[in-house]
Structure 1
Amino acid sequence: MEPLPNLDQFIEKCGTNEIQAFLQLVQDRFLEAQKQKEARLMKTIDNCYDETLDFVKQRRRHLRKQALAALQTLRDRHKLSKDELALHLEQIRSRKRELLDFFREEAAKLTELEQRSAELVAMFTSKRGELAELHRKQLESFKRSALKRLDQARVASFQAVKESPCWDESMDEAVGRLMLLRLSLQIKTPEDADAV
């Protein structure tokens, strides 16, 4: 059908049948255009649906991969945390064993030092007793020797008195000193010697 430059003139020239045919043609074209439009719309909708479905599928696959990766990461971290915890506990146990061994060694050394100290104290006490006894014996020997010498000096003094007419007060004083010294040696006891 050719384009109509003036619709009113066309209608005046056409009869009823032609107008009905024209309206039918217009309606058919409108329906055809509507069908084509609906077809294009449905195709667009189908394409959008397919694209949306593909996007959803891809997104689901991506999210699933991310979820699996995150889950694996959590498992790895959990395993790593367990391994680190086990390693840390083993280090603590090892350090505890080292400290226990150290304290045992120190306790053994302390016991040995206490035993040696006790032995040294006993040895010192024994040596001190021996030295005290030796000192007492030496002092007794010295006292006996001094008393013997004083007795000899006293006898010699008396003998000198008998033999010499030159006896004076200085000689009396010397004899008196000898007698006092002898007396002081006789008064001292072994306890006094230990005190010295």
Structure 2
Amino acid sequence: MTAIIFLAVAAIVLIAAIVLYNGLIAKRQMAQNGWSDIDVQLKRRADLIPQLVTTVKAYAAHEKQLFEDVAARRAAALAAGDDVTTRSAAESELSRPVARLIAVAEAYPELKASQNFLDLQNELSATEDKIEMARRFYNGAVRELNTAVETVPGNIVAALGGVKARQYFEIESANRAAPALHLGGGA
């Protein structure tokens, strides 16, 4: 009788561990999916930046240092890889010169009126919104994963299963490159 009770308890513990482990894996997959979404949007932004630089360069050729800064920071952001901390820092550093690039347009009325520039500015703004949504999704998934990994009994199963907490993805809010659209006239 004792053996049956022991086996029943062992079976319940094993089933609970399997359920907890599967839940942790599902949360980890959700966080990886969220990171993939962020990565796609960051790459889209990185692809838009050279087009924006080319358009502004046609009107503001004397801003050579700014263009070089944008190119260098873009290359660093693309090379940052999938380490969340490194990528966050690189993307924050890229946001600064891109915001300055958008600000340069304010000094050139003919550039602000260029349909190509306005289209690029709109695309960049939409991409920044998508990055923000993807970042929120990812950080929510990370919060759920980290909570499961750091609380009892999930922390025991996570340690045994090699499931680790992940870092949040943050870009310094003061450095975001989301451009303000100034379409001229009374707008």
Fold agreement, TM-score > 0.5:
no
Normalised by the shorter chain, which TM-score bucket? 0.3 to 0.5
Q: Scaled by the length of structure 1, what TM-score is found? A: 0.38
Higher radius of gyration, 1 or 2: 1
Q: Which has the higher helix share?
A: 1
